[in-house]
Amino acid sequence: MPSTLIGLAIAIAFVLPGFITADLAESRRASKASRSDLELVLRGLFWALVIQGAVAALGWTQTIVEDVSSGDDWQHHLGELATFSIVVGVIIPTILGLLLSVWLRSSEQRGQLRFWHYALGARDYRKAWDFVFGRQDGTYLLLSLGEDGKTKHFLGKYGPNSYATQAPTDPAELFLEEVWPSDETGVVDAETLEREPKRGLWVNTDHIDRLEILDPQDGD
């Protein structure tokens, strides 16, 4: 039984870094309707092999094995084993996953994906809504919201504290960190513009009659 538990622990330690990398690489990127269990396993195993292969090529894995099997009690190498586990099992896959996420997201935003992007997990945006808000880090929006036969116009700020859902969420939802009632051209009176406290707005896209994306540099 102890040998079985040790073997299981080694197997988990081998594949876990790959799953950490694969999961972090998904952050803030174009979404899919769902990811199959097989896809998750294969992608996790792929990155586990990449990480473990790179560490082994540097000779660190062999050094650990030789030290632990040198005849000394393995407990004498706890510090060395702990350092190896933290670096290989947490630090490397975390950094790799975050860098991969940034690179793939940037490639997806440009909309110029090549075969190597797809091979590493890149994907096209599923809807125009995803494409537009996946590219926006900060802008202003002019919304016309219709409900009960009435139309209201708002100028809204889409900034770092705003959020737009992605597919497969349907209908899509939008949260604007700051909004001001306006006329249909987006003009806001000075008193409303300076009001306190500031007000945000949650929007269900079913109620959007028109949405215009404004370039804030146009007003400079």
What are the pLDDT digits (tens) for 67-81? 767 766 666 667 887
Residue 39: the pLDDT is: 79
pLDDT-based confidence at residue 124 (cuts at 50, 70, 90): confident
CA distance 181 to 204: 17
CA-only gyration radius of the chain, Å: 25
8 Å CB contact between 167 and 33: yes
Question: What does the pLDDT average to over 163-184?
Answer: 89
**3.20.20.140, 3.30.365.10, 2.30.30.100, 3.30.1360.170: CATH of 128-219:** 2.30.30.100
* Coil vs helix vs strand at 175: strand
pLDDT-based confidence at residue 154 (cuts at 50, 70, 90): very high
**CA 220 to centroid of chain Cα atoms:** 32
8 Å CB contact between 33 and 57: no
Residue 2: the pLDDT is: 46
Strand partners, 164: 174
Residue 46: the pLDDT is: 92
Name the average pLDDT for the chain: 83
Tally of CB atoms within 10 A around 220: 5
Residue 1: the pLDDT is: 45
Residue 191: the pLDDT is: 83
Residue 107: the pLDDT is: 85
pLDDT tens-digit readout, 34-87: 566 777 788 889 999 999 999 999 998 888 778 767 766 666 667 887 888 899
pLDDT-based confidence at residue 100 (cuts at 50, 70, 90): very high
Q: Does pLDDT of 92 surpass 90?
A: yes
Percent of the chain surpassing pLDDT 70 = 86
Residue 76: the pLDDT is: 67
In the chain, DSSP assigns E strands to 139-147, 150-158, 163-164, 173-176, 178-182, 201-204, 208-214
Q: How far is CA 112 from CA 28, 123, 134, 142, 156, in A?
A: 18, 11, 14, 29, 30
* Coil vs helix vs strand at 183: coil
**Beta sheet of 163-164, edge-to-edge order:** 163-164, 173-176, 201-204
Q: How far is CA 6 from CA 48, 60, 75, 86, 171, in A?
A: 19, 20, 14, 18, 49
Q: Does pLDDT of 110 surpass 90?
A: no
Across 9-13, 39-43, 198-202, least confident range? 9-13
Residue 162: the pLDDT is: 93
* 106 or 201, higher pLDDT: 201
Domain ranges of the chain: 2-119, 128-219
Q: Does pLDDT of 178 surpass 90?
A: yes
**CA 97 to centroid of chain Cα atoms:** 10
